[in-house]
Structure 1
Amino acid sequence: MEFFVGVALALGVTVFAARSGFDRDRAFYPTLLVVIASYYDLFAILGGSGRALGLETAELVVFAAVAIVGFRTNLWFIVLGLFAHGALDLGHGRLITNPGLPAWWPMFCMAYDWTAAAALAWRLARPSAGRDYPLAPEAYRQRISPLVATELQAAKLEERSGNWTGSFRRLERAHILSQASTAEHIRVHSHMLGWAIRRQDLREALAQVLRIVGAATKTVFGLIPEGNTGGGDVGAFRSHGIPEDLAAQITASRPPVIGRRIGLLLAVGFLVSCGLGVRSVVAAPVDVRTASVEGHSIAYRMLGSGQPVIVMLAGLGDGMDSFSEVAAELAKSATVIIYDRPGYGLSEPASRPADASAAASDLSVILAQTGVRGPYILVGHSLGGLYAEYYAAHHPDQVRGLVLEESRPANFTQRCESAGLAMCVPTDDMVRMMARGVRDEVASLALTMTQVEAARPVRRKPVLVLSRPLGAKPSPMDGLWVQGQAELAARYAGAIHLTAPAGGHYIHREQRDWFVSAVRQFYAAMGDQR
Structure 2
Amino acid sequence: MIRHHRASTAIALACAVAGAGLVGCEEASTADSKPSASASAAGGADEAAEMASFTGTKKIKVEGRSVNVSCSGSPVEGRPVVVLLHGGGDGLDKLAGFQKTLGEKDRTCSYDRLGAGASDQPDGPQTLEDGGKVLTAVLDQVAGDAPVVLAGHSLGGLIAARYAPDHQDKVKGLVLMDATSPTQSADLSKEIPESATGMAVDLREQTLAILRGESPEKLVVPDGEVRSAGNIPVEVIQHGKQYLAAVPEYGPDLERAWSDGQQKWLAISGDSELSTAGNSEHYIYVDEPDVAVAAIERVVSKAAG
Q: TM-score range by the shorter chain?
A: 0.7 to 0.9
Letter in 1 for 2:227: R
Higher strand share: 2
User: Which of 267, 283, 296 pairs up with 1:519?
Assistant: 296
Q: Percent identity?
A: 26
Q: How far 1:308 sits from its partner (Å)?
A: 2.6
Higher helix share: 1
Distance 1:389 1:429 in 2: 22
User: Which of 404, 411, 415 pairs up with 2:176?
Assistant: 404
User: Which of 277, 282, 286 pairs up with 1:500?
Assistant: 277
Please name the residue that 1:298 is paired with: 67
Please name the residue that 1:289 is paired with: 58
> CA 1:291 to 1:511, structure 2 compared with 1: closer, same or farther past 3 Å?
same
Contact in 1 for aligned 2:228/2:267 (Cα 8 Å): no
User: Which of 32, 47, 51 pairs up with 2:11?
Assistant: 47
Q: How far 1:520 sits from its partner (Å)?
A: 1.6
Contact in 2 for aligned 1:43/1:101 (Cα 8 Å): no
Letter in 2 for 1:408: T
> CA 1:41 to 1:424, structure 2 compared with 1: closer, same or farther past 3 Å?
closer
Instruction: Determine helix, strand or coil for the equivalent of 1:318.
Output: coil
Please name the residue that 1:309 is paired with: 81
Q: How far 1:332 sits from its partner (Å)?
A: 0.4
Please name the residue that 1:71 is paired with: none
Instruction: Determine helix, strand or coil for the equivalent of 1:101.
Output: coil
* Uncovered stretches (5+) of structure 1, i.e. residues with no partner: 1-38, 53-98, 104-282
Letter in 2 for 1:516: V
Deviations 1:450-469 (A, max 9, x none): 4xx3x732112111101012
Deviations 1:267-309 (A, max 9, x none): xxxxxxxxxxxxxxxx464822112112211000011112330
Contact in 1 for aligned 2:86/2:155 (Cα 8 Å): yes
Q: Structure with the greater relative contact order (CA < 8 A, sep ≥ 6): 1 or 2?
A: 2
Query: Counterparts in 2 of 1:212-231, with a 5 A limit?
Result: none
> CA 1:389 to 1:429, structure 2 compared with 1: closer, same or farther past 3 Å?
closer
User: Which of 465, 468, 490 pairs up with 2:236?
Assistant: 465
Q: Whose radius of gyration is greater, 1 or 2?
A: 1
Instruction: Determine helix, strand or coil for the equivalent of 1:49.
Output: helix
Q: How far 1:370 sits from its partner (Å)?
A: 2.9
> CA 1:480 to 1:428, structure 2 compared with 1: closer, same or farther past 3 Å?
closer
Moved more, 375-384 or 512-521: 512-521
Please name the residue that 2:94 is paired with: 322
Query: Counterparts in 2 of 1:436-475, with a 5 A limit?
Result: 436-437=216-217, 440-441=218-219, 444-446=220-222, 449-450=223-224, 453=225, 456-469=227-240, 471=242, 475=252
Contact in 2 for aligned 1:470/1:482 (Cα 8 Å): no
Contact in 2 for aligned 1:466/1:498 (Cα 8 Å): yes
Q: How far 1:347 sits from its partner (Å)?
A: 0.3
Is the counterpart of residue 528 in structure 1 residue 301 in structure 2? Answer: no
Instruction: Determine helix, strand or coil for the equivalent of 1:378.
Output: strand
Please name the residue that 2:158 is paired with: 386
Calculate the aligned-residue CA RMSD, in Å. Answer: 3.1
Distance 2:96 2:173 in 1: 21
Q: How far 1:512 sits from its partner (Å)?
A: 1.3
Distance 1:380 1:425 in 2: 25
Contact in 2 for aligned 1:46/1:100 (Cα 8 Å): no
Q: How far 1:47 sits from its partner (Å)?
A: 2.8
Distance 2:152 2:132 in 1: 12
Q: How far 1:407 sits from its partner (Å)?
A: 0.8
Is the counterpart of residue 426 in structure 1 residue 197 in structure 2? Answer: no
Structure 1 length as normaliser, TM-score?
Answer: 0.44
Query: Counterparts in 2 of 1:74-473, with a 5 A limit?
Result: 100-102=22-24, 283=26, 285=28, 287-306=56-75, 307-370=79-142, 372-421=144-193, 422=200, 423-424=203-204, 426-427=206-207, 436-437=216-217, 440-441=218-219, 444-446=220-222, 449-450=223-224, 453=225, 456-469=227-240, 471=242
Letter in 2 for 1:101: V
> CA 1:425 to 1:312, structure 2 compared with 1: closer, same or farther past 3 Å?
farther
